Structures are given as C-alpha cells and as structure tokens.
Amino acid sequence: MHSTHYRYASPVSDSINDAHLCPVSDDFQQCVSFQLDFSPQTVNVMRQLDFYTNQVHHFEVMESHQLLEVVARSEVETFTDQRDFTVSCPPELLVGLGRNDRYYDYLAGSQRVALSPMIQHEAKEIIAGISDVRQQVERVMGYIFEHFEYAPGTTHVESDVLHVFQIQRGVCQDFAHVMIGLCRSVGIPTRYVSGYFYVTPKSQSTVDNTASHAWVECYLPNIGWVGYDPTHDRRTDASYIKVAMGRDYVDVRPLAGTYRGKSTVEMDVTVSVQQLS
C-alpha cells in the first residue's frame, strides 16, 4: 500500500497529475492486482504507457478541494532470477549501443545525472584493471557502499548527482543516481528503478517496509538488464518490487502534477509492504 495525502492551506482546483504507482509485470514479477483510490472521488482517470513502458495513471481533480488523497494497493508475485551470472560480459559488446534507441537514454546524461569530468574520471579510476562488465558494475556498487554514508535529511528530492558526490551522503535515491553516473561514464547502460524492498524482520537493512526504495538496472552483455542496489551492496532478487524505470528520479516520480491556486501544501506519504506467503 502506498498512500499520499496533500493538505492545502486554502482551497485549490484544476489539479492535474501523473502517478507512477502501478508495479510492472515482466520476467521476474507479476502484478496480480492493482487498485487506485482517490479523495475527492470525482476524479477523471486515464491509464497509459509512458516512453519507458511504465504504467502511468493520469488523473484530474477540477473541483475546489483542500485535501487530495491518492492510495495505491498492489499485490505482486515475484520470481527468482535463474540466469547464469558466471558467463563472461566483455566490454567490447557495449560498443555502439549509444546509437541504439533502446540504450541511448541510459548512456547519456539526464536532468539529475550530469556526466561531469569529475565523475567520468572517478569512474575510470574505480574500474581500472577490470575487464568484465559484471565485475565493473559490482566494483562501482561496492565503491558507493564503502564511501557514501546513508544519512536521511542531508539531501532532498531535488538533489543532483554532483551535490551528492561532493558530500558523499544521502539516501537510496541519491546512491542510485551516483551509480548511474559512474556506470554511464564508462559506457555501461544504466537506468533508475523505483519500487519497494521487502525487509525481513531480522534484517539489518537501513530501510524498512514503510518506505519506497530506489536502485538501478545495468545492461550486462550476454545476460541482459540486471538490478543492483548500491544502498545494500547487493544484486536485486525476489525481495524487490519494481514499479517504474527511467533515466533518473524525474522520470518515475510516484506523483507529479500542478494545481490552480496560491495555497501552500503539506504532503504525507505512508508505505506498507507485507509478505502474503
């Protein structure tokens, strides 16, 4: 369950929004059910696919209101990744992917991930002497886990990769952006993934089941797209639920929109992830 409440200091109207809240269905998970509820209930809703094939629910609340509630409920079945991760992943097979529409956006800089000379230099230093793409990706992930501190409150939703790289602190969204910047800088297609991470009761994780999560997917030659979580220094597995993917956070914001009015707004988000069996 993912619940978002907007409270306005005075009435607003003509609220127009896009929601990235419906989990994807692919080879590693199946969205069994999805329900999106609103208050006020007089909402016009249209479902569509965005450029990156994410499910987007476009909705409009035209009447005057001071409270907007959006509640998404999903049931998702996840599967174990059975691919062979011992195969060779030669960097030579990445050459030319920048000319392919399926990979170009995941190799270029983006709004939150600028490929600055500093990041490009650091990336080359990190993977120096490593000739396998999978091992390069794992080294980049390990570097972030070792050198960056998980520190909520030190960054905000608008922070870009250069700021995070300089202070070397942040949260899952920031670490995903850093890994994207480093991997793209050395020619590895990498995309941002939003979703949820189910944490077992005995886990020592820095996140819990009351928050959304972010990680990346890297394209590995001879294997395909593979998820990596730099916050926990691990490859993703059946504990992860993917909701949306894009160039960076901007492409997959859970809710984004505009409204008519000069009122200030407060936003509260509540997330609950439960294992059914």
Per CATH, the number for 2-79+253-271 is 2.60.40.2250
pLDDT digits over 119-163, tens only?
Answer: 999 999 999 999 999 999 999 999 999 999 999 999 998 899 999
Per CATH, the number for 91-251 is 3.10.620.30
Q: DSSP strand E in 121-262: where?
A: 149-150, 169-170, 190-197, 213-220, 224-229, 234-235, 240-246, 255-260
pLDDT, mean over the chain: 94
pLDDT value at position 277?
72
Q: Residue 75 pLDDT more than 70?
A: yes
Taking the C-alpha atoms of residue 275 and residue 231, their distance in angstroms, rounded to an integer, is 22
In the chain, list all ranges with CATH 2.60.40.2250: 2-79+253-271
Model confidence pTM above 0.85: yes
Structure-block tokens of residue 131:
């000739």
In the chain, list all ranges with CATH 3.10.620.30: 91-251
Q: To the nearest whole percent, how much of the chain has pLDDT over 90?
A: 90
Q: Residue 262 pLDDT more than 90?
A: no
The phi, psi pair for 107, rounded to 5°, reads -115, -20
Full DSSP string of 112-151 = S----HHHHHHHHHHTTT---HHHHHHHHHHHHHHH-EE-
User: 58 pLDDT band (50/70/90 cuts)?
Assistant: very high
Residue type at position 260:
R
